[in-house]
Amino acid sequence: MPVISAPQDFNEDDLYVDLEGILEHPLFLKCEGFNFAGSIKLKAAAEMVEAAERDGLLTRGSVLVESSSGNLGVALSVIAANKGYGFLCVTDSRCNLATRMMMEALGSEVHVITRPSPVGGFLGARIEHVRALCSSDDRYVWLNQYSNPNNGMAHYQRTAPAIARQFPDLDVLFVGAGTTGTLMGCARYFREWHRPVRVVAVDTVGSVTFGGAPGRRMIPGLGTSRRPPLLDESCIDDVVRVEEADTIRACRRLAGRGFLFGGSTGTVVSGAMSWLARQEQRELTAVAIAPDLGERYLETVYQTAWVQDLYGDDVLGSPPLAMASQAA
């Protein structure tokens, strides 16, 4: 029986969903949302905060400040509340309402950026706001998830080894690309492992992370409007880009079988199925990382009017994901 005294001490690390019966391709989905922050970001948040404490950057009276599209903001809210720090999250208008309300319920302050930067988009505008805050008050401490090496270290030390223990014959790992902390931590670990593993990055169309053209992105989580400083493409074997309409199709297909996952997970699953459908070798041992659960997307991805307004009726009437993948 687990007994904890801090919320960040609990994280279910060994839960997988076998998707073959749903999507008709062998794929194991590593569920990272079963903790008090509801996403994989709790690992990175804990590692970055602990490193800042060891380095003496955080002291009594410090106020954490971070730019986040949502999940890291919730994770830092949990940890800040537990440790007695203040926390100010800088997000933008795409952040889900439920996510903002969760941060505020945990005692955090939330600043919502409503106008993108002409060059860096919403992310650029958020970072500019964070820098202005830090310049205005010495109490603010910016962990900077975009270039903080401890972001990736959390997954090098925990996420990737957990997968390796459960799947010693792993052939391919699918990881969503946001800040690329999870991606790089896992990729570097498996580069050093005893057998080759293909690491496939899953990005969203409209993201510039891997050199794609910038475009509209309405689902928070994966993708960026500027190249992540943590990214080292030499560690990655392949990249799959997913349209947001396909993200929604994947989420709703899984929900139809009782698995309510978040937008980032829908993107990763859609990308994984598309990649697997193109492979001649069918007996691959494949794992995809599911960063989040679906409760925070009830007003967007799972709200029919929202989907119709932004993506049209075709998304709602699309064929099952496995059929779409096989036809690709």
Name the DSSP class of 158.
I
Instruction: Give the Cα-Cα-Cα angle 35, 238, 322 (nearest 5 degrees).
Output: 70
Q: Which of 164, 175, 191, 160 is nearest to 275 (CA)?
A: 175
What band does 319 get if pLDDT is binned at 50, 70 and 90?
low
Query: Is the pLDDT confidence value at 328 over 60?
Result: no
pLDDT of residue 318: 61
pLDDT at 244: 95
- pLDDT of 325 > 50? The answer is no
Query: How far apart, in whole angstroms, are the C-alpha atoms of residue 224 and residue 181?
Result: 13
Q: 41-142: same fold as 7-34+148-327?
A: yes
Of residues 185, 6, 170, the one with CA closest to residue 84: 6
As assigned by CATH, the class of the 41-142 domain is alpha beta
**CA pseudo-torsion sign 261, 266, 268, 274:** positive
- Percent of the chain predicted with pLDDT > 70: 97
CB 48 within 8 A of CB 70: no
Amino acid (one-letter) located at 315: V
Rounded mean pLDDT, 273-285: 89
DSSP output for 84-137: T-EEEEEEETTS-HHHHHHHHHTT-EEEEE-S-BTTTHHHHHHHHHHHHHHHH-
Under a CB-based contact definition with an 8 Å cutoff, are residues 154 and 162 in contact? Answer: no
Q: What is the pLDDT of residue 218?
A: 87
Confidence of residue 131 (pLDDT cuts 50, 70, 90): very high
Indicate whether 326 pLDDT > 60: no
At 289 the three-state DSSP class reads strand
Integer Cα distance of 307 and 239 in angstroms: 26
User: Residue 322: what pLDDT?
Assistant: 45
pLDDT at position 321 is 54
Class of domain 7-34+148-327: alpha beta
Please, what is the Cα angle at 88 between 82 and 92, to 5 degrees? 130
Average pLDDT of span 52-80: 94
Domain layout of the chain by residue ranges:
7-34+148-327, 41-142
Tokens representing residue 325 in the block: 């993948």
Q: Does residue 52 register a pLDDT over 60?
A: yes
Give pLDDT, residue 24. 80
CA atoms of 216 and 209, how far apart (whole Å): 14
Examine the pLDDT at 282 and tell me if it is beyond 80.
no
Q: What is the pLDDT of residues 171-226, one digit of tens each?
A: 999 999 999 999 999 999 999 998 899 999 999 999 999 998 888 888 888 988 88
The pLDDT tens digits for 247-276 are 999 999 999 999 999 999 999 999 999 999
Highest average pLDDT, of 29-33, 116-120, 281-285, comes from 29-33
